[in-house]
Amino acid sequence: MSTYSELFKFAAKAGSLEGYLFKRKDVESLANWVSNILSRYEELPANVKKDIKSDLLVVLNRVLEYGGQTVPPDLKEKIQALRDDVGSGV
């Protein structure tokens, strides 16, 4: 298991806990969250993207599977595009 993969898993769990506990009235829109994830992913070096690929695919697939009615179609398309990009080995 690579260091980046372990760090990704830790950050994902910590971010999930923070999001779960955050005051709902103060939470940024889902569109902002998705936009931040997309931009941060793009900034990652290729070696980090490679190391976190399988873990990120699990997260993105869960978002698409469990998002159901919560994720609007335009955001779902962006998440699917990221999943396709990650899955292609970029």
Residue-wise pLDDT tens digits, 73-89: 999 999 999 999 999 86
Distance CA 4, CA 76 (A): 26
Range of the domain at 65: 3-87
CA-closest candidate to residue 90, choices 58, 45, 59: 45
- pLDDT digit string (tens) for 19-68? 777 766 665 678 888 998 999 999 999 999 999 999 999 999 999 999 87
- Domain tally for the chain? 1
